Amino acid sequence: MPTTVDTWNLDGDYIRIDDGAGPEYLDWRNNAEVISGYGIVNLSVGVVLGDPQHDRLGFVQGNGITATDGLNSGSRITIDGFVAVVAPRSTGYSFGLLFPDPEDPGEYRSAPPAIVQKFIRALTYQNTSEALPDDFQKLIGFHILNDGDGTTGHEPIQEYVTVTKWLRDHFVPTDRGGNWSTGGKNLPPEITGIPAAKTIADGGRPFSSVSITDPNNDKLTVTIKISDPKKGSFLASSLSGGTYDPETGIYRVTGTPAQVQDAVRKLVFTQGSGLDGSRSSQESVSFKILVSDPVFVDAATMEASFRPNKADNIKGKASSEKLYGHGGKDKIDGKGGNDKIWGGSGNDQLTGGTGKDAFVFDNKANARTNKDKIVDFSVSDDSIWLDNAFFSALGPKGTESKPALLKSSYFVTGSKAKDKNDFIIYDKAKGKLFYDADGSGKGKQVEIATLSKDLQMTYKDFFVI
């Protein structure tokens, strides 16, 4: 006879709930099975990181199941005539079930697997919050302990059911008009379309052919790590939501499979400033990609090679354009039009020309390897955009599509910071622009650009994206 305990049709199940919904069965298809050659001595069920205010476990009485006080500690539950008792210190979101021995008061016995199986099928979950966030997720753990064979001791098994919010994406059309897809067996997400090795260009899209799918259409989280952040980073203007830390080289985005796939495909990789002037004809970097749903993870690694960009000489037209230098010591001239100019990494020379131009800084400040010269900055017409992924002291507000005006207190003229929040400093005498990460002058300020001297610059010339 077997000495282990197992379940079928339970572990990996998921259910979907809606705002204000009543209790939902945890065993979605009412087909969970408990298998053991010996009796079950304990069943523990709990919400992982449970919320005492809103998470509620329960069960449906009837069909041979009754209780004196629900799942409260001390409640006596009868399952097809077999008596169980709710263990002490049980809560609304976690409980233990023991089986008292009627012939030996104070002692406990084991229950037939079929008794525990029937009770599991009757269990429910409810969240009493008025509104659930779209990324709502709860994990319900089942710990089942059997009696063993008297020599191996008790043997446990741990199983999980996931609860998520029902979204419109979960409506699946059928011949009968629709399926609300309220639950099922959770299947893993998958990454395809990523070659083991690929050659990319500076400013290229490494993941343009990637496909990210999930059979259950769950919310997914994609994490991408650049093996060596000094060699390159993701262009800030290519980030479609999510978070990116240029220090660690980690990008993370959450959404539907279609949303995260679109975000990953748009990522642009640009070389680090340390490679500007590199004599190497080719550099290598790898990307580790993870995609996860509430239960499963899929992973892939891509080894990439690229040729360091030495320098570009880019000239715009009379129209309004977006001009990118990426890596290298570039010369960019916007000519006419209202241009947006990204120098990228490297010591670049930027000219806006006529029109209302924006000079974008979206790489880590470095006075030696990433300092630009803005030839013709006009206070009345032009602006400087600073990406808060790299200039984090400026706050989280602002995007490329909706730039946020720099706070007036964050800007100062002079040679250094004067109080605790002078993050952007313009030295009129020398025509130098600095970033001070602590805003107080205690740390080292970093020169990010040179401009003309004696400009009448104010905070109104700066925007955060």
pLDDT tens for the chain, 465 residues: list them: 344 678 888 888 888 888 888 999 999 888 999 998 889 999 999 999 999 999 999 999 999 999 999 999 999 999 999 999 999 999 999 999 999 999 998 899 999 999 999 999 999 999 999 999 988 989 999 999 988 655 555 778 999 998 988 876 555 444 433 344 556 666 788 999 988 888 877 778 899 999 999 887 778 999 999 998 888 889 887 888 889 988 899 999 999 899 999 999 999 888 776 555 444 557 788 999 999 887 677 888 888 877 655 556 777 777 787 887 766 677 888 888 898 898 887 888 999 989 999 999 988 888 888 889 999 999 999 999 999 888 999 998 888 889 999 999 999 999 999 889 999 999 999 999 999 999 988 888 999 999 999 999 999 999 998
Provide the 10 A C-beta neighbour count for residue 199. 11
Percent of the chain whose pLDDT exceeds 70: 89
Task: Give the single-character DSSP code of 62.
Answer: B
Q: Which residue has the tokens 């697997």?
A: 113
CATH architecture under which domain 313-464 falls: 2 Solenoid (2.150)
Q: Which amino acid is it at 367?
A: A
Average pLDDT score over the chain: 86
Contact 330, 348 (CB under 8 A): yes
236: left (phi over 0), alpha (psi -120 to 50) or beta: alpha
Torsion angle of the four alpha carbons 309, 313, 318, 321, in this order, in degrees rounded to the nearest 10: 20
**pTM of the predicted protein model:** 0.47
Chain-centre distance for alpha carbon 84: 42
Reference 272, options 322, 228, 209; nearest CA is 228
CATH architecture under which domain 190-306 falls: Sandwich (2.60)
Q: Which amino acid is it at 36?
A: S
Percent of the chain whose pLDDT exceeds 90: 50
